[in-house]
Structure formats: structure tokens, C-alpha cells
Structure 1
Amino acid sequence: MTVAYVVLAILLSAMLVLSARGKLTKDEKVVQSLSAANVPLSWYPPLAVVEIVGAAGLIVGIFVGPLGVAAAIGVSLYFLGAVIAHLRAGDTKGVAAPAPILLFAVITLVLRILSL
């Protein structure tokens, strides 16, 4: 396992927890961003749960390789969906939030696969 993967997994997990917190507390910036992507308020708690589970999977995946791969795939797909939702809604400015996290998740996935 590489040190780079461990560092990225921890950082990505922290980003996911902060993102989930924003959804659960209905932070004004989060609400504006998700509203622009036509995401209903009722979806915030389930989306936050998915992010928290992804964060936990990445952390446990440091020790259990296949779980780390699965978690990184899930997080990558989650943020790919976020990018697509913003684009479908015509919110090109809103892509600025999930796109870098998507890239970060894909890099984490590649590093985890290479470290198996």
C-alpha cells in the first residue's frame, strides 16, 4: 500500500464527511448548489448517508484492499452523478464543486488498485 493512497483516502473521507454535514445541516451554500441541480430537500439525508458510508469505506479500505476499491468506485460514481445532475440542469457553474472531488476520487481509486 502506498502512502499516497492512505493520505488521499483520509483527505477524501474528510471531504465526504464535510459534504454530508452540509447536507444534514442544510447549509445555505449547499442548498443553493443542490437546488440549482434540481435536487429535492428530501434527498439530502440519503445523499449524506451515502457520503458517510463512502468515507467509512475508504478508511476501512486502507486495511481491507477490496473494500477500499469498492468504496472508491462508489464515491467516484456518486460524484459523477453529481456532475451529470448539474449539467442536466444547465448549472455549469455548479459543476465546480463536484468535479474536483470526482477527480480526487478517481485518483484515489487508481492508487488503491495499484497498491493491491
Structure 2
Amino acid sequence: MYLTAAILSALLALVALAAGGPKALLKGDVSAGLQSHMGLSAGLVRFVGLAEVAAAGGLVMGLFWQPLGIAAAAGFALLMVGAVVCHVRVGDYRDPKLRGNAMAPFVLFAVAVATAVTLGLAM
């Protein structure tokens, strides 16, 4: 079970770091899109990015101390719930052109929950 938890943690950490880094630095199209399309402030975008980067760090450190990894995975899952709420508010799920990208938080939520559960079982 630990091998599964380690693989899920590493994959989720890479995704969280790749998604959070540009947001934390307010660089790239994603940060600009969150500000213009979603109506989020620059400070909130930066906060979300820093939370994603922190989750990545917690997931990596959680390989050595599972309670931290469980907390990081649970926190990342909550971030994805917030992302779904934001996508619902702006109507991304009704627009076929935007629906594909808006589904990513659902997938990442499922992976984060699976990571937390497998880390818990590996203890």
C-alpha cells in the first residue's frame, strides 16, 4: 500500500507544484485567466498558488511522516472543491468550450482523496 501512496503523492505533488508555481508568481495565462474570467483578485490568485505549492511540499514530506501527507492531500482536495465552486459561479460547466478544462478539479479532487486514503492505510 505504501508504494501506491508514494506514487499518488509524487504525482499529485508534481501537479500541485506545476499548477501553483505560476499562480504564486502571478505569471502566465492561468493567473491572468483567473483574474479576468473568474474575477479573482491578484492576492487571492497568489494565495491559491501558495497553498498549492505548500500542498506539494506537504505531500513530499508526507512520504516520511504520513499525517502531514494526509493533511496536505486533504487541503488540496478542499482547494479543488473551491475551484469547482468558482467554475460553477462563472458558468464554465454550461459552456461546452470551457467544460473540458473545468473538469480538471474533479479529477484532482479524486486523486487527492485517493492519496489521503492510501497514506492513511499505509500507516
User: Normalised by the shorter chain, which TM-score bucket?
Assistant: 0.7 to 0.9
Which residue of structure 1 lines up, in the alignment, with residue 50 of structure 2? 49
**What is the Cα deviation at residue 31 of structure 1?**
2.7
**What is the Cα deviation at residue 35 of structure 1?**
3.6
Q: Which among 95, 107, 111 is matched to residue 100 of structure 1?
A: 107
Q: Give, in whole Å, the separation in 1 of the partners of 2:87 and 2:14.
A: 23
Percent identity (aligned): 31
Gaps of at least 5 residues in structure 2 are 94-98
Whether the 8 Å contact between 1:36 and 1:86 is mirrored in structure 2 is no
**What is the Cα deviation at residue 25 of structure 1?**
4.3
State how many pairs are aligned. 116
1:64 equivalent to 2:71? Answer no
Whether the 8 Å contact between 1:76 and 1:106 is mirrored in structure 2 is yes
Q: Give, in whole Å, the separation in 1 of the partners of 2:22 and 2:105.
A: 14
Pick closer, same or farther for the CA change 1:13–1:106 going to 2, 3 Å.
Answer: same
Which residue of structure 2 lines up, in the alignment, with residue 36 of structure 1? 37
Gaps of at least 5 residues in structure 1 are none
Q: Give, in whole Å, the separation in 2 of the partners of 1:109 and 1:97.
A: 18
Normalising by structure 1, we get a TM-score of 0.87
**What is the Cα deviation at residue 96 of structure 1?**
1.9
